[in-house]
């Protein structure tokens, strides 16, 4: 019998009295001894009025509780931080580690034999996986699911690739204020996560690939009955795992599972942000994410999924085409099918159960992919000694090998002040450079890497330019954008020495990003770099600045990484 309410008692020497007190207090909520004498399933409630991506969480909690009770266990709902992309200042990434710490400690502190983690918006599933990887009980994940799509003038719309597309048209003067306001009403037509292959969809799908949620749990829409039924089933599974004991996240996240995640990430057109989150999750397990393997996988596994921003469609169509299991079936030869899952099947058994959707065109085949290249490429060079990332599937073919003049922005404020100035000395062949936008520099490594096309070029019809930075980019964005340069400029990285007019070489086929100045000049500038900025004087800002790691290590806190393994 699991410990249930007896878990994590703080006794000060008298266990009986501690349990007596604990029971006395919880009975104030109306629980009977029969209810309390059962395995306990904690359910993390991430509902917040600030988080529409989690707007269906109350309904999912009800269904998950029902499932837990059907299994004979007791559900206990507890709150944790909820982070929404648009309502987290200075950036949601700044708060991801706080959510991971808080969730881990709440799992540790309170009596529960297993836990259901409900998350969806970009940083929440990563934070919860990091937390669960560092916890010692079985955890079952329940993504909130993608939002429904809207429509405008005969077109289907969804957050947020279309948000950028329409805003770009508005900036270029192609549509007027009335129309952009109309679009604003229609872009996000229901609760749930962004419906393109942005970070939320990528991480939800990877949660499924990693075996941490039920099959089809990554893609079922937030507004459909299947999502709620999955919630009930998740609760039932968590109840069973609470009674029997079950695999922990640490036990499931084997090298086989991580390799499978890389294969799926390359095949689905996944977000660059997933690389940072996977690195952080790996750090919790005491391993370094093998980005060389990720790059190598991308040379063999082409882009198969026709979803924005790399393709055309939305998550609902991906789900209807069979979702993650159908995608895994296509890339089966690249997977380790023996990888275990929280629900007991191996990944191979999940694939065996796939019923093909005849006529679907969303998930292509290895023989006839959407694009012949994988999604992500890992770049190195004198500008990025510890690596950088480019989403080549969403980049312009004509810019994949490019030598251009640097137009440097000192930080995000400088960018905002000068980008649209008519005086800005910029041409379409130039390379926009943004620095001081990494984990320490900004702080929080904001999604500033997708620099808008300067207004005067946008008006001329320029849609893409090479852009490079130590920032991140939204998974919903499109363009030739080099990101996550490590180390960042605010931590001694060479991005700090780039000057206006220097030439930079981007060579994606050769996986190279290079500042084209003489080596002795390079060394002279590096030696003359000023000392890094000191940490802020207090609070979380000080903790963050003092302990955040670089992008290649997941931008987690150094003290949260597993030191023992």
CA 226 to chain centre: 23
Pairing of strands 384-391, 376-381: antiparallel
> What minimum distance in Å lies between the beta carbon of 123 and ligand FES?
9
Q: Which is nearer to ligand FES, 478 or 557 (CB)?
A: 478
Residue 474 interface partner, choices ligand FES, Mg ion, none, CB cut-off 5-8 Å depending on type: Mg ion
Binding residues for ligand FES, rule CB under 6 A, total 10
Cα-based angle 376, 420, 391 (whole degrees, multiple of 5): 5
Q: Which is nearer to Mg ion, 129 or 497 (CB)?
A: 129
> What minimum distance in Å lies between the beta carbon of 116 and Mg ion?
24
Q: How far apart are CA 502 and CA 516, in angstroms?
A: 7
311-323 exposure pattern, b = at least 16 Cβ within 10 A, e = fewer? bebbbbbbbebbb
Q: Count CA within 13 A, CB hemisphere, residue 21.
A: 9
Residues 469-498 touching Mg ion, rule: CB under 5 A, are 474
121 counts as binding ligand FES under rule CB under 6 A? yes
From candidates 44, 53, 237, 453, binder to ligand FES by CB under 6 A: 53
> What minimum distance in Å lies between the beta carbon of 199 and Mg ion?
4
Which residue from 254, 262, 256, 310 is spatially nearest to 285, judged by alpha carbons?
254
122 counts as binding ligand FES under rule CB under 6 A? yes
Q: Which is nearer to ligand FES, 85 or 430 (CB)?
A: 85
User: DSSP string of 348-366?
Assistant: HHHHHTPPP-TT--SB--S
Binding to ligand FES by CB under 6 A, coded x per residue (else -) over 137-176, reads ----------------------x-----------------
Residues 345-384 touching ligand FES, rule: CB under 6 A, are none
DSSP state of 48: -
278 counts as binding ligand FES under rule CB under 6 A? no
List residues bridging with 412 in a β-sheet: none
> What minimum distance in Å lies between the beta carbon of 200 and Mg ion?
6
Pairing of strands 466-469, 401-409: unpaired
> What minimum distance in Å lies between the beta carbon of 258 and ligand FES?
23
193 counts as binding ligand FES under rule CB under 6 A? yes
Q: How far apart are CA 439 and CA 544, in angstroms?
A: 9
Contact by Cβ (8 Å): 64, 235: yes
Contact by Cβ (8 Å): 338, 346: yes
**Interface stretch with ligand FES, choices 42-50, 148-156, 194-202, 462-470 (CB under 6 A):** 194-202
Q: Which is nearer to ligand FES, 84 or 467 (CB)?
A: 84
Residue 379, H or E segment? strand 376-381
Residues 109-128 touching Mg ion, rule: CB under 5 A, are 122
Which residue from 128, 123, 125 is spatially nearest to 102, judged by alpha carbons?
128
Contact by Cβ (8 Å): 301, 356: no
Contact by Cβ (8 Å): 193, 124: no
**Interface stretch with ligand FES, choices 178-186, 192-200, 391-399, 522-530 (CB under 6 A):** 192-200
Q: How far apart are CA 139 and CA 263, in angstroms?
A: 24
447 counts as binding ligand FES under rule CB under 6 A? no
40 counts as binding ligand FES under rule CB under 6 A? no
> What minimum distance in Å lies between the beta carbon of 323 and ligand FES?
17
Binding to Mg ion by CB under 5 A, coded x per residue (else -) over 195-214, reads ---xx---------------
Token output for 320: 């209807």
Q: How far apart are CA 317 and CA 327, in angstroms?
A: 13
207 counts as binding ligand FES under rule CB under 6 A? no
85 counts as binding ligand FES under rule CB under 6 A? yes
Residues 455-474 touching Mg ion, rule: CB under 5 A, are 474
Residues 331-360 touching Mg ion, rule: CB under 5 A, are none
Helix (H, G, I), strand (E, B) or coil at 97: helix
Binding residues for Mg ion, rule CB under 5 A, total 4
> What minimum distance in Å lies between the beta carbon of 104 and ligand FES?
22
Contact by Cβ (8 Å): 5, 242: no
| Contact set with ligand FES (CB under 6 A) | 53, 84-85, 121-122, 159, 193-194, 198, 200
């Amino acid at each position: 019998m699991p410990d249930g309410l007896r878990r994590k008692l703080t006794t000060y020497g008298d266990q009986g009295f501690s349990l007596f007190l604990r029971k006395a207090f919880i009975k104030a909520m109306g629980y009977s001894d029969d209810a309390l004498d059962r395995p306990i399933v904690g359910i993390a409630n991430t509902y917040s009025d600030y988080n529409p991506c989690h707007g269906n969480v109350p309904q999912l909690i009800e269904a998950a509780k029902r499932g837990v009770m059907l299994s004979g266990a007791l559900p206990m709902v507890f709150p944790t931080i909820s982070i929404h992309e648009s309502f987290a200042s200075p950036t949601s990434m700044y708060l991801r580690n706080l959510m991971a710490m808080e969730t881990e400690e709440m799992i540790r502190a309170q009596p529960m034999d297993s836990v259901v983690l409900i998350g969806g918006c970009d940083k929440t599933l990563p934070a919860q996986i990091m937390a669960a990887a560092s916890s010692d009980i079985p955890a079952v994940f329940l993504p909130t699911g993608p939002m429904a799509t809207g429509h405008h003038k005969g077109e289907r719309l969804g957050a947020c690739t279309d948000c950028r597309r329409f805003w770009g048209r508005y900036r270029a003067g192609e549509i007027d204020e009335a129309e952009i306001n109309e679009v604003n009403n229609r872009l996000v037509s229901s609760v749930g996560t962004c419906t393109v292959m942005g970070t939320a969809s990528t991480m939800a799908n990877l949660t499924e690939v990693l075996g941490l949620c039920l099959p089809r749990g990554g893609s079922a829409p937030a507004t459909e009955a299947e999502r709620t039924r999955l919630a009930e089933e998740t609760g039932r599974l968590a109840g069973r795992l609470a009674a029997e004991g079950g695999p922990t996240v640490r036990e499931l996240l084997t090298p086989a599972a991580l390799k499978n995640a890389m294969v799926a990430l390359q095949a689905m057109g996944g977000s660059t942000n997933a690389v940072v989150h996977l690195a952080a999750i790996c750090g919790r397990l005491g391993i370094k994410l093998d980005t060389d393997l990720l790059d190598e996988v991308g040379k063999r596994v082409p882009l198969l999924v026709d979803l924005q921003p790399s393709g055309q469609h939305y998550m609902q169509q991906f789900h209807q085409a069979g979702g993650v299991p159908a995608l895994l079936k296509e890339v089966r030869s690249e997977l380790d099918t023996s990888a275990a899952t929280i629900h007991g099947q191996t990944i191979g058994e999940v694939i065996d159960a796939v019923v093909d959707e005849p006529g679907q065109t969303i998930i292509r085949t290895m023989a006839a992919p959407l694009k012949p290249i994988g999604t992500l490429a890992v770049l190195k060079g004198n500008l990025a000694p510890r690596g950088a990332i480019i989403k080549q599937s969403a980049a312009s073919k004509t810019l994949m090998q490019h030598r251009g003049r640097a137009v440097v922005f000192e930080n995000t404020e400088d960018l905002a002040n000068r980008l649209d100035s008519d005086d800005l000395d910029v041409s379409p062949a130039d390379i926009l450079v943004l620095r001081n936008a990494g984990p320490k520099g900004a702080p929080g490594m904001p999604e500033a890497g997708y620099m808008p096309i300067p207004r005067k070029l946008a008006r001329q019809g320029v849609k893409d330019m090479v852009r490079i930075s130590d920032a991140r980019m939204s998974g919903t964005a499109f363009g030739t954008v080099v990101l996550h340069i490590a180390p960042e400029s605010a931590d001694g990285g060479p991005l700090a020495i780039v000057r206006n007019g220097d030439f930079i070489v981007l060579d994606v086929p050769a996986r190279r990003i290079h500042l084209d100045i003489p080596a002795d000049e390079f060394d002279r500038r590096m030696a003359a770099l000023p000392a890094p900025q000191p940490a802020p004087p207090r609070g979380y800002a000080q903790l963050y600045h003092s302990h955040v790691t670089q992008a290649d290590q997941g931008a987690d806190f150094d003290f949260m990484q597993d030191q023992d393994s």
